[in-house]
Amino acid sequence: MNVLFILLGKIFPLYLTIFVGFILTRYFRVKREHIAFLLIYILGPVVIFFAVLSIEINLQLVFLPMFIYIFGSLIAFYILYKYKNQWKDASVNTLAFTCGTGNSGYFGIPLAMILLEPSVANIFIFGTLASILYENSTGFFVTAKGTFTARQSIMKVIKLPVLYSFIAGIIFNILGFKTPEVIIPYFENFKWAYGLLGMMMLGMGMKGFNIHEDFDKKYIKIAYFYKFIFWPGVVLAIIFIDKNFINFLNEDIYKVLFLFSIIPLAGNTVTLAILLKAKPEKASFTVLLSTLISVIYIPVVLALYGGF
């Protein structure tokens, strides 16, 4: 019960930010496409570059983003293939995207800071780099295929600056460069801006929502099965196997992996859906509802897991 009340208190401001995003778009005519562009092409690359530059890389930490990226990509392509004939619009593309990832940045990082020790929370933050990379490569590709050809989708992925900022961060990290102390406060401001604008996108995506057209029971059922049942099920199996047979990971990695598996659907589902005109209203409703469900779902599964 304590975890539930802590989550409610900490998450409530996020819901206010979502509401502000809806008000800005609905009544002040703020262009949501401009915010989506800002998140993907400007704030995202800056945040990921300095985050990659700031970590100390080892084999256990490398496993974390590799697993998140590869597992999420496999799910996305599987969903795209299995359900490609279920919808006549771009719904399957946003569905494939959202089943392969979670809201690790806008929702997950604050949650990790609440539940985990600072050193373990830093591991979670490093893991979010895989989500950002997924969202801007595999996720962008499967979403763009609802609007563009395969060649056009690949070209759009190649043009995304976040991929190059990630590579640059890795190179500078290996070469021994450190983030200058004088610019760390500016980097923190970028992270806050990224988080706040990302949550606003959920509200902005609700503009034009029609309950009769955009409440898709099949869409929601599939998305929630993969995010709230399949993801944690596979992660628990990996933890069990490693604990009993391999002993490669440690308890901190177990906690981070499990937390990744139970966060709600990714807010960037809405960002990309808006940018690529791929049913943003349906995506926004599904993501927002998953965030509301998570207020109860997360404390329950954490209590059952017993590792926190």
Q: Can you read off the two tokens belonging to residue 106? A: 């806008």
- The 3-class SS string of 128-168 reads HHHHHHHHCCHHHHHHHCCCCCHHHHHHHHHCCHHHHHHHH
- Print burial letters for 247-286: b (CB count within 10 Å at least 16), e (below 16): eebeebbbbbbbbbbbbbbbbbbbbbbbbbebbbbbbbbb
Q: What is the mean pLDDT of residues 52-75?
A: 90
pLDDT of residue 252: 92
Look at residues 287, 298, 201, 205 and name the one whose alpha carbon lies nearest to residue 258: 298
CA gap 91, 143 in Å, rounded:
9
Residue 63: predicted pLDDT = 94
The CA-to-CA distance between both ends of the chain, in Å, stands at: 13
The CA distance from 18 to 126, in Å, is 25
Q: What is the CATH number of the domain that holds 10?
A: 1.20.1530
pLDDT value of position 276 = 66
Cβ pair 105, 43 in contact under 8 A: no
Greatest mean pLDDT among 106-110, 113-117, 213-217, 248-252: 248-252
| pLDDT tens digit sequence for 136-160 | 788 888 877 666 666 776 777 777 7
C-alpha count within 13 angstroms, C-beta hemisphere, residue 75: 26
* Residue with the two structure tokens 């509301």: 292
pTM for this one? 0.81
Structural domain for 220, as ranges:
1-305
**Tokens describing residue 218:** 């099949």
Amino acid letter, residue 48: I
| Cβ atoms of 95 and 223 closer than 8 Å | yes
User: How wide is the angle at C-alpha 45 spanned by C-alphas 7 and 57, nearest 5°?
Assistant: 75
The total domain count for the chain is: 1
Q: Do residues 256 and 94 make contact, with C-beta atoms less than 8 angstroms apart?
A: no
77-133 pLDDT tens trace: 999 999 988 988 778 888 999 999 999 977 888 788 778 887 788 788 888 888 888
- pLDDT tens readout for residues 258-286: 999 999 998 778 777 776 676 677 787 88
